[in-house]
Structure 1
């Protein structure tokens, strides 16, 4: 029953129109984040102690991961898109590959630290439930996005 309430809320929030593309994207990101938190909360069944420790760690990880993916990796992708690949020198291509590899390594280190931090807060079964719940949420979000197109 919790899931149906969350999905109803998602449909309601998804139907609201926004003004200005940049503001709209920010609002949508916040709404999706709020829905994700509600979904994960219902799926994980965290104790109050677990929740108090978990959410700051989760939110910090989520923000850092977003920054790496959307700021550092986006710069690399923009460089690839802005420049015809055939016009890149070998030296420029190697520098770009190094940037990409560095961002991927940073993301990997962040995930490892997050996993270590979670093990101090949650039992292993809840960490696995978290991973599954995040995948389920992303799948549902993608399905709803495709249904709107």
Structure 2
């Protein structure tokens, strides 16, 4: 029970660090940030929902899988991947009215770099604890 309250601040710290990292990396001005972050957060929530669906599809494929069921799951996964692509196109279209196309282009790289840094920090921390 004590771990639950601890996780919330960590999530808040993580999101604050992501905001700072991306804002800095893309040189997002305060005026841009005011409009950008609500759009980004909505996009990210929608994206995570779709990624959860893909994860559920992948989990449902564990164990023996008939060819018929595999075809169905492949079709479902492609449908969700198409939704992901449509979501990203829509998001990029909307944010380029807020930030420059160059900033928008660099966004996915900044996200990957942030995630990579988190992973590396986690690896280093895990290495010390073991």
Q: Same fold (TM over 0.5)?
A: yes
Task: Please say if 1:89 is aligned against 2:66.
Answer: yes
Deviation at 1:51?
A: 1.4
Task: Show structure 1 runs of 4+ deviating over 6 A.
Answer: none
Distance in 1 of aligned mates of 2:83 and 2:13: 27
Distance in 2 of aligned mates of 1:77 and 1:26: 28
Is the Cα contact below 8 Å between 2:61 and 2:70 reproduced in 1? no
Distance in 2 of aligned mates of 1:102 and 1:132: 25
**42 and 69 in structure 1: CA distance in 2 versus 1, 3 angstrom threshold:** same
State the SS of the aligned residue for 1:121.
coil
Distance in 2 of aligned mates of 1:24 and 1:103: 34
**TM-score, normalised with respect to structure 1:** 0.73
Structure 2 residue runs without a partner (length 5+): none
**38 and 135 in structure 1: CA distance in 2 versus 1, 3 angstrom threshold:** same
Aligned to 2:22: 40
Over the residues paired in the alignment, what is the CA RMSD in angstroms?
2.1
Structure 1 residue runs without a partner (length 5+): 1-17
Task: Please say if 1:134 is aligned against 2:108.
Answer: no
Q: What is the count of residue pairs matched by the alignment? A: 125
Distance in 1 of aligned mates of 2:51 and 2:9: 19
Distance in 2 of aligned mates of 1:65 and 1:24: 26
Distance in 2 of aligned mates of 1:31 and 1:77: 30
Distance in 2 of aligned mates of 1:103 and 1:126: 27
State the SS of the aligned residue for 2:61.
helix
**38 and 108 in structure 1: CA distance in 2 versus 1, 3 angstrom threshold:** same
